[in-house]
Amino acid sequence: MPFIQLQKVGKIYVSDNNISVGIRGIDLSFEKGEFVAVTGESGSGKSTLLNVISGMDTYEEGELLIEGEPTSHFVQSDWEEYRKNYISFIFQDYNIVDSFTVLENVELALMHVRDHAERRRRAVELLDRVGMKPFLKKRGSKLSGGQKQRTVIARALAKDSPVILADEPTGNLDSKTSAEILDLLKEVSNGKLVIVVTHDFGQIEPYATRHIRIHDGAVEYDVQASAAAEPVPETAPQVRKTEEEGQTAWSRLGRTLQDSMRLGWVRFKAKPKLSFFLCLLMIVAAIGVFAVTSFSASSLSAFDPVPFFTHQEGRVILTKPDGSVITKEEYEALAKRPGVLSGLRFDTLLDRPLGWYVRGRSLDLHYTTTPPRKPDTGRLPEKDNEIALFLPLYAKGAEECPGIGDTFDLLNGDTAPYTVVGLGFDPDNTKPACVCMTGRGFEILSCLEVLPYSLNVTLTTSGDSVTQNCSVGLLWSDGQFWMKKIKDAESASVKLEMTVRIESLQTGRKTDPASFETVSVERTLTCAPAVPGRAVGYGETLYVDPQCVLDLGHAAMDISYRQTSLFYANDREAEKAARSFRSEGYHALASTETRANDDILSLSVFGAIGLFLLWLFTVAFLTLFISLATTRAIMSTQGDLSILRSMGIPVPVIRTSVFIQTLLPLIPAYLSVLLFACFAFLFPPTNAQFTYLRPWAYLVIAAALILISVMIARRYIRKLFGQSVKKALKGENRS
């Protein structure tokens, strides 16, 4: 059975409505051990015959049999596999990979050799045999014609295929070099089928065992030549497809990935200008995706469930089943329950954050008695009038931000001045900002916050009494007061009357909203010196000491406040305790509990959807932009990949190497994102412009960049593999 057999094979070319015949009615058989010379005039069909035998071009008539198996049903993938296992090709026009070095060109044909050192040794040995050892590191584009031909001959020999096809292998060499190359071909042809197309049969005649002449696409004659055919030794090269027999799918996949990564990296570094251009474009794309992701990240909160209360670790919020006030005795009994670490009888401030504007951004300051961490400067509060502020980094250095030792009014007025003793700034501007104070400082502020805006105040001094409406502010001295109209009095008996509405002071169950009660508190206070810089608002403000504020606040909340908070070790313990309280009849919720967002059709939700669509549009736009910007540059490598296909490099390896080459620029691009993020979030002015991203957002950015690269690579691959190797080689545009 012939090794390769052609039965009435014909090849027809159609272009611009013109039909031409490449070869017609070819009947030929070839065996291993033959050294066949094919001659004929230019355009007679010699090269077409080689292209059909190699599978780089299709045929339209007849049948080509490989070891008795027909190939007329072959598709592109079958021909790729055929070239991989059977064919080594020496081209007339070199088809060297110009961007690769001489050594890399030859190593391409040795990818089947797993050991890198052995692969390198064989490549160097073959290049030495063709006289190219001094040029191992020289790129293909820098070689002369003769040097390129020597290199591709070494590359063809390195593959060690059972069939060597050579199209004018000595056409660009001098007579001495030509003889050396033909001697080498004859030497390595032992047990192989060698078919050489030539214009000069006299040069090939000493080596040829057979002479075939082609005329007008047909065989004119086929005769035995002077050289005798070599017997096929037992060690003749075998079809390499047997190497994969017995391998598991996973091992084949691993081998493909390993070869693809190696080839992709070689191609990436072989085109430094193209690679730099791709890296630059991907850096622009990466920063663009980062910016739009950061811009739209905060909008996702529109879909979040609505919390019932401000979350604090381990917090449980309680009300009595009948909605009545929780007395001091009842609160103290609850605070002594097993597992309770601490409690707040009057917790209204926990759910009423202080609204503040910094660098034009709205910021809610939450109150807490548990510091989230140590402050960056200063210390934690120790006195009742001291606070530590934990703020996003963009507040640092802002005009609105107080410094250590400054006073900060916590009621957005001039009535609750606390001294800042600690400042902490966090690059994560999505974390809640908070005001940390002592437990008693929190209680004082809670009492001041719930007092009615206007109180009836009677001040009696030296037998004279003055009664008027005024608001209450804090004066951080025991037993003292200060008021503009009686600032010179040494002491006065102060009687304060409040009309308190008997209802819950927070969202929750209420009693009769028309029920009111008047509460009186009488104190004798010493007049303090005037407070410089204190502005008196509408009416008068009576500044009193903390204990007076506590007395007033307790008097008001003892008859109206119906909620309390208990704190456990963690949220899980809090949720467990809340279930236990509910089983006892209390209304109890852990601060982790939420309800569905009833405002799902709000403008904020539509805005979030719009920002998500903007994110998708940005990714699509960047994909199109990079694709258009790189099309010409990337397509300049089409010829290189066509050469790889002609060499029989496995298609999955070539395809995957394209993806690897396109994905490699993502490494500097992603590093640039991280550097840009560090700058954006660690520099206060830019921290105000970008929403801090969670780790999942960086995964989204990575996925978007991978998507962009994959889409570009797929577009390139479709164009490359949508035509035969011969057409791809003819249409190459290598730089």
What is the average per-residue pLDDT within 434-453? 87
92: pLDDT strictly greater than 90: no
In whole angstroms, give the CA distance from residue 574 to residue 576: 5
pLDDT-derived band of residue 735, with 50, 70 and 90 as boundaries?
Answer: very low
Q: pLDDT at residue 672 above 50?
A: yes
Q: What is the mean pLDDT of residues 687-715?
A: 87
Alpha helices (runs of H) in 130-242, residue ranges in sequence order = 145-159, 175-188, 201-204
Q: Find the mean pLDDT for residues 224-228.
A: 75
Cα four-point dihedral sign 267, 272, 273, 275: positive
Do 263 and 654 contact (CB within 8 A), yes or no?
Answer: yes
**8 Å CB contact between 61 and 697:** no
Per residue in 7-64, pLDDT tens? 999 998 887 777 888 899 999 999 998 999 999 998 899 989 999 999 888 899 999 9
Neighbour tally for 327: CB within 10 Å: 12
| Under 8 Å between Cβ of 57 and 10 | no
For residue 392, the model assigns a pLDDT of 94
228 has pLDDT over 80: no
Cβ atoms within 10 Å of 267's Cβ, excluding its own:
25
The predicted-structure confidence for 364-393, as pLDDT tens digits, reads as follows 899 988 888 999 999 999 999 999 999 999
pLDDT at 305 exceeding the cut of 80:
no
What DSSP assignment string belongs to 452-499?
-S-EEEEEEETTEEEEEEEEEEE-SSTTEEE-GGGTT-SEEEEEEEEE
Instruction: Give the lowest-confidence range in 67-71, 630-634, 683-687.
Output: 630-634
Q: Is the pLDDT of residue 102 over 50?
A: yes
pLDDT tops 90 at residue 395: yes
Which strands form 342-344's sheet, in the order they lie side by side? 342-344, 564-567, 315-319, 587-590
CA-nearest of 84, 109, 105 to 96 is 105
Average pLDDT over residues 480-493: 69
Say yes or no to pLDDT of 227 above 70: no
Above 50 in pLDDT, residue 734?
no
- pLDDT at 463 exceeding the cut of 70: no
DSSP state of 417: E
Question: pLDDT band for position 731 (50/70/90)?
Answer: low
pLDDT at position 432 over 50: yes
Token pair for 243: 């190497």
State how beta strands 163-167 and 193-197 pair: parallel
What's the chain's average pLDDT?
A: 83
- Residue 693 near residue 294, CB atoms below 8 Å: yes
- Residue 65 bridge partners (DSSP): 5, 70
DSSP SS3 for 54: helix
- Looking at the domain that runs over 4-244, which CATH code has it been given? 3.40.50.300
Percent pLDDT > 70 in the chain is 86
What is the per-residue pLDDT for 252? 77
pLDDT band at 453 (very low <50, low <70, confident <90, very high): low
Range with the poorest average pLDDT among 69-73, 534-538, 557-561, 576-580: 534-538
Q: What is the secondary structure of 18-31 as a DSSP string?
A: EEEEEEEEEEEEE-
Tokens for 497? 């009357």
Each domain of the chain, given as residue ranges in start order, spans 4-244, 250-300+603-730, 348-440, 451-557
pLDDT given at position 688: 87
Give CA 632 to chain center in angstroms: 27
- Confidence (pLDDT) at 239: 55
- DSSP-derived secondary structure for 599-664: TTTSHHHHHHHHHHHHHHHHHHHHHHHHHHHHHHHHHTTHHHHHHHHHTT--HHHHHHHHHHHHHT
